[in-house]
């Protein structure tokens, strides 16, 4: 055992202590100083006797003028049970001391404070040599904020900048370390940009020192909004600072422990380091001895609850806490188990005011709004040149409203001061929460402009871009600075030889860059985003023909060879040859995105408001476009140019005649569906009224054509043929139509005078902004006499449960579209259980499922947890769950069904899944050069059908699956002899034989088959079939699934593996058949049903 009376404890000792126990921090310094009743002379001492201006209240000065007071406070905390105390340096930066005109004493002040705390720690270890005691250098947030303007009339103004903060923090850090601290602790962070500056200064100092110290960081959630003063959520803040790889992260100040619980849970879940909490002693109370409400036992009890939940590694106190608080906390937590630090799944984690995450296999394109880019948007450039920043902000806001997940910002224009424009525009963006909620992509070819942006963004942003163009030295330097600023990077496929155009060069450069970044620089792989260069197609130059296909193929290879890295591309580049012809350009973008996303494209820089729907592109145009993108033939470019001219002429005519309104001639239900898919809101109210008159009731319109249309949108989105911005536009049309119908529904409800059936509190869960499904559910319930308390989107669990209590809810409904929402739903269920709720929980949204609810959510809550797949079902579910005569049976059946699903899942066991991109590289390999593909008779090509008698078919009947469908396991005929199972199976078999005899006798069923054989070739997981041997006309594309379960040393099969690939030029075929032996079954079933024998 170490003797700490002779040996100063190390970082290893600190980590060892954190593994064993919950580390006890100290309590408030200011509270203890106030109890000393010090006067002005105490703060002045001899050193500042003649200083101009009052010094009382500058507590840090006491380390120089009354060191005995500070030493005794440290000593009291160590005696109370603290393992660590903080230095008396909360305001000891030159920026904070400037208010007292004492900037010049910062070095001496910090050294003295550190030595006092060090001395107190050493004395405590002499008394108990087996127990290490630590000193943390307290680094306050300063009294300036880098993200907020001090002038409401000028939101771009700042009273401190990043560079000033870095210099100020560096001086303090240097002095603290020289004074003997063991740990650096930037605390009470109300502005994440200030903390990022502190991190930058810490890293600079570590470089100069030649070694590192442990760093613990603490943030402050200012009120019940759950955000810092500068507007970030807890998770967003963590994403912004995680690059520092701290020893610990946590919360302090502003709130009491109970109010911190939700935010501490979020940190505990997301942070791959230790987590602390040192709260205030409840709420301020000027009548209390410490100025705060809570007694020591109250604070200790709350912290023990956190420990019991497994979300705490370090605990202490902030404002209003005393050595007595720390003593009770230490006793209460003495035997508590420390939180286990989780292994967090690698992911690209970004943030604006809110977090954004890309992890695992991405199923939907992340869209980067491109219109705030002066090189790509003439309108935006003109606004910036005219210094019309208000209008420029509207462009940014429109991109976000249209569904952009990230905002690309670029000021690379000859007549613009890029650094000044970037600084001003991003400062203005910070003042607009509707824009700054999303992460920023800082886009420039000049590093100085990129750094100007990095210094004003509190969130975690993306740098666009760095490359090997100027050699490895510059590349590494930029990468290291990106890490220090805490940014992800787009890496262009560009090296010393130039821009990569071929598949081989794209892969070679990206792989080289990945190796340098990960192995030499230490860059986090998931923070790397490769752009393999989207280059212009149909230029008329033969060597450009493969640009599209090479980009797509490069995505697959890069994903395989560069684990956890992401991919991106500037999509509009692909169609630059057709500028001025929006119809062709939009078709090219949609088709290119469709194929690129299937190959592994994670994000695309696009105009979020101008994306065509893949399935809605004119088939002829789509064929022409895809022939160019996939380089299907050398004449593809010319053919598209010819077609583009025709389309251009048609567009010109159409512009003069107005938009194409031929779809307005369709029936109203089809028009509503068309409007939803296309995102056209101009006729939503008109068509909703026509449908209302036609169908008789407004609810019939919602549950009929409107929901049918949204199902089409959902299917297209799921297939990758629509992207989120388009879904957002569809949702707006839906909202408009529903809003028009709502007054009619209210009138209908009032006319009936029915009493209220119940109350539902409904919300889209925290982290999710999608609400169309939730809104429909609310309308449907309201029309059926339910009171609906709609809390909106991004709603925290606390607010949902608080509303449920307030309104005495009968049901809680949770909605979510994105995958992370599922985890938030689990959290809500857990909190309902802890809160002893006894009402049903309904789950809904695109990512929810019956299986997930049964396996992952239901067991966390004792009451009913029901996944409702469709808004039209919600009324019956709610009624069944709240009517006493139905409730018990419904819940019993539900629980039994969920147990069955869960048991079956556990029996199967879960095998890890390989990412799809990687799985594609592990497919079944065939040497097609050595394969002699059988050639069918030419007359057998195409589709053929025939009929057969049931007696002819019966001899081929496999009876085993018949018994399985009745949940009788076994193989026929052995199953007939298996004890009780055999008895049941034999009886079932006899009944089936009797029924078959009747069917044959009455000729009740007609057996038919259809067989097709077509020329075909494979393209990755897809198979394309053709009408003729020359493959001149494509009939269809089949999209097959590839096995992704981890299978060591075994192929990851896909049906497309067995069809010759397009590039090998070998003639192959795909066969398909469909059989039906059930024509007539409905009639027979109806007979049994009429006889009550169904």
Q: How confident is the model at residue 738 (pLDDT cuts 50, 70, 90)?
A: confident
Provide the pLDDT for residue 382.
Answer: 95
Q: Under a CB-based contact definition with an 8 Å cutoff, are residues 442 and 453 in contact?
A: yes
Give me the mean pLDDT over the 490-502 stretch.
96
In the chain, ranges of CATH 1.10.288.10 domains = 928-1090
Give the contacts of 1040 (CB within 8 A, at least 6 positions apart). 1021, 1022, 1023, 1054, 1055, 1056
Res. 255: pLDDT tops 90:
yes
Q: Would you mind telling me the total number of residues written for the chain in this entry? A: 1094
Which residue from 282, 324, 330 is spatially nearest to 304, judged by alpha carbons?
330
d(Cα 219, Cα 187) in Å, to the nearest integer?
Answer: 6
d(Cα 34, Cα 28) in Å, to the nearest integer?
Answer: 10
CATH placement of domain 755-910? 3.40.50.280
Which residue from 206, 4, 226, 238 is spatially nearest to 122, judged by alpha carbons?
4
Provide the pLDDT for residue 1088.
Answer: 66
In the chain, ranges of CATH 3.20.20.20 domains = 350-633
Rg of the chain (C-alpha set): 34
How many beta carbons lie within 10 A of that of residue 755, not counting itself? 6
| 258: DSSP letter | H
Task: Give the highest mean pLDDT range of 166-170, 685-689, 727-731, 784-788.
Answer: 166-170
Res. 518: pLDDT tops 80:
yes
CA torsion sign for 192, 243, 442, 605 is negative
In the chain, ranges of CATH 3.20.20.330 domains = 11-333
Which residue from 279, 276, 219, 206 is spatially nearest to 248, judged by alpha carbons?
276
Q: What are the strands of the beta sheet with 183-186, ordered from one edge?
A: 84-86, 134-139, 183-186
11-333 architecture in CATH? Alpha-Beta Barrel (3.20)
Q: Considering only residues 532 and 152, tell me which one the structure prediction assigns the higher pLDDT.
A: 532
Q: Under a CB-based contact definition with an 8 Å cutoff, are residues 341 and 273 in contact?
A: yes
How many beta carbons lie within 10 A of that of residue 469, not counting itself? 17
Packing angle of the helix pair 724-752, 684-695 (nearest 10 deg):
40
d(Cα 587, Cα 585) in Å, to the nearest integer?
Answer: 5
Provide the pLDDT for residue 251.
Answer: 98
Res. 720: pLDDT tops 70:
no
Percentage of the chain beyond pLDDT 90 is: 64
d(Cα 1082, Cα 1094) in Å, to the nearest integer?
Answer: 12
Q: How confident is the model at residue 34 (pLDDT cuts 50, 70, 90)?
A: very high
Provide the pLDDT for residue 1091.
Answer: 59
Give the Å distances, CA to CA, from 150 to 147, 425, 426, 585. 10, 17, 16, 45
CA torsion sign for 740, 743, 749, 755 is positive
Tokens of 51: 């200083």
How many beta carbons lie within 10 A of that of residue 467, not counting itself? 22
pLDDT 10s digits, 473-486: 999 999 999 999 99
The DSSP-derived string for 964-1028 is: HHTT--S-TTGGGGSHHHHHHHHHHHHHHHHHHHHHHHHT--EEEEEEEEEEEEEETTEEEEESS
Q: Please give the backbone phi and psi of residue 303, each rounded to the nearest 5 degrees, phi first.
A: -65, -35
d(Cα 1054, Cα 98) in Å, to the nearest integer?
Answer: 69
* Per-position b or e across 618-644, b if 16+ CB within 10 A of its CB: eeebbbbbbbbbbbbeeebbebbbebb
| 539: DSSP letter | S
Annotated catalytic residue, options 770, 827, 1017, 1052: 770
Provide the pLDDT for residue 116.
Answer: 98
Percentage of the chain beyond pLDDT 70 is: 95
Q: Which residue has the tokens 């003797």?
A: 3
Q: How confident is the model at residue 1092 (pLDDT cuts 50, 70, 90)?
A: very low
Provide the pLDDT for residue 37.
Answer: 94
* Per-position b or e across 1002-1013, b if 16+ CB within 10 A of its CB: eebbebeeeebb
Give me the mean pLDDT over the 825-848 stretch.
92
Q: Please give the backbone phi and psi of residue 499, each rounded to the nearest 5 degrees, phi first.
A: -75, 135
Give me the mean pLDDT over the 649-666 stretch.
67
Q: Under a CB-based contact definition with an 8 Å cutoff, are residues 714 and 677 in contact?
A: no
Q: Under a CB-based contact definition with an 8 Å cutoff, are residues 148 and 82 in contact?
A: no
Q: Class of the 661-753 domain?
A: mainly alpha
Tokens of 217: 């960081």
Annotated catalytic residue, options 82, 821, 1018, 1056: 821
Q: Under a CB-based contact definition with an 8 Å cutoff, are residues 533 and 550 in contact?
A: no
Give the contacts of 824 (CB within 8 A, at least 6 positions apart). 765, 766, 767, 768, 797, 814, 816
Write down the H helix ranges in 753-839: 772-783, 797-806, 820-834
Q: Which residue has the tokens 């630090």?
A: 341
Give the Å distances, CA to CA, from 286 to 290, 322, 940. 8, 16, 93
| 163: DSSP letter | H
Q: How confident is the model at residue 541 (pLDDT cuts 50, 70, 90)?
A: confident
Q: Which of 517-521, 666-670, 932-936 has the lowest mean pLDDT?
A: 932-936
In the chain, ranges of CATH 1.10.1240.10 domains = 661-753
| 493: DSSP letter | S
Q: Is 770 a catalytic residue?
A: yes
Q: Which of 121-125, 340-344, 526-530, 1063-1067 has the lowest mean pLDDT?
A: 1063-1067
Q: Is 531 a catalytic residue?
A: no
Q: Under a CB-based contact definition with an 8 Å cutoff, are residues 35 and 52 in contact?
A: no
Res. 971: pLDDT tops 90:
no
Q: How confident is the model at residue 216 (pLDDT cuts 50, 70, 90)?
A: very high
The DSSP-derived string for 201-241 is: HHHHHHHHHTS---BEEEE---STT-B-TTS-BHHHHHHHH
pLDDT 10s digits, 743-786: 888 787 766 656 778 999 999 998 777 777 788 788 778 877 78
Q: Which residue has the tokens 């529904």?
A: 745
Q: Three-state DSSP class for 64?
A: helix
Q: Is 815 a catalytic residue?
A: no
pLDDT 10s digits, 52-78: 999 999 999 999 999 999 999 999 999
Annotated catalytic residue, options 191, 505, 527, 768: 768
- Superfamily assignment of 350-633 in CATH? Dihydropteroate synthase-like (3.20.20.20)
Count Cβ atoms within 10 A of the Cβ of residue 20 and give its class: 0-12 exposed, 13-18 middle, 19 or more buried: exposed
Res. 111: pLDDT tops 90:
yes
Res. 723: pLDDT tops 70:
no
In the chain, ranges of CATH 3.40.50.280 domains = 755-910
Q: Which of 99-103, 995-999, 1035-1039 has the lowest mean pLDDT?
A: 995-999
Which residue from 428, 432, 436 is spatially nearest to 411, judged by alpha carbons?
428
Provide the pLDDT for residue 966.
Answer: 66
CA atoms within 13 A of residue 92's CA, in its CB half-sphere: 32
d(Cα 729, Cα 709) in Å, to the nearest integer?
Answer: 13
Q: Under a CB-based contact definition with an 8 Å cutoff, are residues 429 and 455 in contact?
A: no
pTM above 0.85, yes or no: no
Q: Three-state DSSP class for 943?
A: strand
- E-strand ranges in 554-602 read 566-570
Give the contacts of 635 (CB within 8 A, at least 6 positions apart). none
Q: Three-state DSSP class for 395?
A: helix
d(Cα 754, Cα 748) in Å, to the nearest integer?
Answer: 10
Res. 569: pLDDT tops 80:
yes
Q: Class of the 928-1090 domain?
A: mainly alpha
The C-alpha angle 187, 192, 197, rounded to 5 degrees, equals: 80
CA atoms within 13 A of residue 812's CA, in its CB half-sphere: 31
* Per-position b or e across 712-751, b if 16+ CB within 10 A of its CB: bbbebbeebbbbbbbbbbbbbbbbbbbebbbebbeeeeee
| 525: DSSP letter | G
pLDDT 10s digits, 399-437: 999 889 999 999 999 889 999 999 999 999 999 999 999
Q: What are the strands of the beta sheet with 314-315, ordered from one edge?
A: 23-24, 314-315, 274-280, 248-256, 216-219
| Residues paired with residue 1075 on neighbouring β-strands, in sequence order | 1009
d(Cα 212, Cα 206) in Å, to the nearest integer?
Answer: 5
Give me the mean pLDDT over the 823-840 stretch.
94
């Amino acid at each position: 055992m170490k003797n700490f009376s002779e040996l100063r404890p190390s970082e290893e000792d600190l980590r060892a202590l954190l593994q064993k126990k919950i580390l006890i921090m100290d309590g408030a310094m200011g509270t203890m100083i106030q109890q000393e009743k010090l006067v002005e002379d105490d703060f002045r001492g001899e050193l500042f006797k003649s200083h101009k201006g009052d010094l009382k209240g500058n507590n840090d000065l006491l380390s120089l003028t009354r060191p005995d007071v500070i030493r005794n406070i440290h000593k009291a905390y160590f005696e109370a049970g603290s393992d660590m105390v903080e230095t008396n340096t909360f305001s000891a930066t030159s920026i904070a001391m400037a208010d007292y005109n004492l900037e010049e004493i910062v070095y001496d002040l910090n050294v003295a404070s550190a030595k006092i705390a060090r001395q107190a720690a050493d004395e405590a270890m002499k008394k108990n040599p087996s127990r290490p005691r630590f000193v943390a250098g307290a680094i306050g947030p300063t009294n300036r904020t880098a993200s907020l303007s001090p002038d409401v009339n000028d939101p771009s103004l700042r009273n401190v900048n990043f560079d000033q903060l870095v210099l100020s923090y560096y001086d303090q850090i240097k002095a603290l370390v020289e004074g003997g601290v063991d740990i650096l602790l930037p605390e009470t962070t109300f502005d994440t940009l200030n903390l990022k500056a502190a991190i930058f200064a810490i890293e600079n100092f570590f470089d100069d020192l030649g070694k590192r110290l442990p760093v613990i960081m603490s943030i402050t959630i200012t009120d019940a909004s759950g955000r810092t003063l500068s507007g970030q959520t807890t998770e967003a803040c963590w994403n912004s600072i995680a690059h520092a790889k701290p020893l610990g992260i946590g919360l302090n100040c502003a709130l009491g422990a109970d109010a911190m619980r939700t935010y501490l849970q979020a940190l505990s879940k997301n942070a791959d380091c230790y987590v602390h909490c040192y709260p205030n002693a409840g709420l301020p109370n000027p009548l209390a001895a410490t100025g705060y409400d809570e007694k020591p036992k109250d604070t200790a009890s709350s912290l023990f609850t956190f420990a019991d939940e497994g979300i705490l590694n370090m605990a202490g106190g902030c404002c209003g806490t005393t050595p007595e608080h720390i003593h009770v906390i230490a006793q209460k937590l003495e035997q508590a188990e420390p939180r286990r630090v989780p292994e967090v799944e690698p992911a690209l984690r970004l943030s604006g005011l809110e977090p954004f995450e890309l992890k695992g296999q991405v199923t939907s394109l992340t869209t980067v709004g491109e219109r705030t880019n002066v090189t790509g948007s003439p309108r935006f450039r003109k606004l910036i040149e005219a210094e019309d920043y208000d209008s420029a902000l509207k462009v940014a806001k429109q991109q976000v409203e249209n569904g952009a997940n990230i905002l690309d910002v670029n000021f690379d224009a000859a007549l613009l001061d890029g650094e000044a424009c970037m600084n001003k525009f991003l400062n203005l963006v910070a003042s607009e929460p509707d824009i700054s909620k999303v992460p920023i992509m800082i886009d420039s070819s000049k590093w100085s402009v990129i750094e100007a942006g990095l210094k004003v963004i509190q969130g975690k942003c993306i740098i666009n871009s760095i490359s090997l163009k100027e050699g490895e030295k510059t590349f590494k330097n930029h990468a290291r600075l990106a890490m220090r600023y805490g940014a992800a990077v787009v890496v262009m496929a560009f090296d010393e030889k130039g821009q990569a155009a071929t598949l081989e060069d794209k892969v070679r450069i990206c792989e080289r860059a990945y190796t340098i970044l990960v192995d030499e620089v230490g860059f986090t792989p998931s923070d790397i985003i490769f752009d393999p260069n989207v280059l212009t197609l149909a230029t008329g130059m033969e060597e450009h023909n493969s640009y599209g296909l090479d980009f797509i193929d490069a995505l697959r290879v890069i994903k395989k060879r560069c684990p956890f890295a992401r991919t991106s591309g500037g999509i509009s580049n692909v169609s630059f040859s057709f500028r001025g012809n929006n119809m062709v350009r939009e078709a090219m973008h949609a088709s290119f995105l469709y194929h690129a996303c299937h190959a592994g494209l994670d994000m695309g820089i696009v105009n979020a408001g101008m994306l065509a729907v893949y399935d809605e592109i004119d088939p002829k145009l789509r064929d022409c476009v895809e022939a160019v993108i996939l380089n299907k033939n050398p004449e593809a470019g010319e053919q598209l140019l010819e077609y583009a001219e025709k389309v251009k002429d048609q567009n010109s005519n159409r512009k003069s005649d107005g938009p194409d309104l031929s779809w307005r001639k369709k029936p109203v239900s089809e028009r509503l569906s068309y409007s939803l898919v296309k995102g056209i809101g101009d006729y939503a109210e008109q068509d909703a009224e026509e449908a209302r008159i036609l169908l008789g009731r407004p609810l019939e319109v919602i549950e009929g054509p409107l929901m049918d249309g949204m199902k089409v949108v959902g299917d297209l989105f799921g297939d990758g043929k629509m992207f989120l911005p388009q879904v957002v536009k569809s949702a707006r049309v839906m909202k408009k139509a529903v809003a028009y119908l709502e007054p009619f529904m209210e009138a209908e409800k009032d006319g009936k005078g029915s009493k209220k059936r119940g109350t539902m509190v409904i919300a889209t869960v925290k982290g999710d902004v999608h609400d169309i499904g939730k809104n429909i559910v609310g309308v449907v319930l309201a029309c059926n006499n339910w009171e609906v308390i709609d809390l909106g989107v991004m709603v925290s669990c606390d607010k949902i449960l608080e509303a449920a209590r307030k309104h005495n809810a009968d049901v809680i409904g949770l909605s979510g579209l994105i995958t992370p929402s599922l985890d938030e739903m689990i959290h809500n269920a857990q909190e309902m259980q802890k809160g002893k709720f006894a009402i049903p929980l309904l789950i809904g949204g695109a990512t929810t499922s019956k299986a997930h609810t049964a396996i992952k959510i239901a067991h966390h809550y004792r009451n009913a947890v029901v996944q409702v797949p469709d808004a039209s079902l919600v009324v019956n579910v709610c009624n069944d769950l709240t009517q006493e005569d139905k409730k018990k049976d419904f819940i019993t059946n539900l629980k039994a069904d969920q147990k069955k699903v869960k048991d079956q899942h556990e029996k199967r066991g879960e095998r890890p899944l390989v990412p799809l991109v990687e799985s594609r590289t592990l497919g079944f390999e065939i040497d097609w050069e050595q394969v002699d593909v059988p050639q069918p008779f030419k007359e057998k090509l195409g589709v053929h059908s025939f009929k057969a008698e049931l007696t002819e078919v019966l001899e081929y009947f496999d009876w085993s699956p018949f018994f399985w469908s009745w949940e009788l396991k076994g193989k026929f005929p052995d199953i007939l002899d298996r004890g009780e199972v055999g008895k049941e199976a034999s009886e079932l078999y006899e009944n089936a034989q009797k029924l078959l005899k009747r069917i044959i006798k009455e000729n009740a069923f007609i057996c038919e088959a259809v067989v097709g054989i077509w020329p075909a070739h494979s393209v990755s997981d897809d198979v394309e079939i053709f009408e003729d041997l020359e493959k001149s006309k494509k009939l269809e594309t089949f999209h097959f699934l590839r096995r992704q379960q981890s299978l060591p040393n075994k192929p990851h099969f896909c049906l497309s593996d067995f069809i010759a690939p397009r590039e090998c030029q070998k003639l192959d075929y795909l066969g398909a058949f469909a059989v039906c032996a059930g024509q007539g079954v409905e009639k027979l079933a109806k007979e049994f049903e009429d006889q009550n024998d169904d």
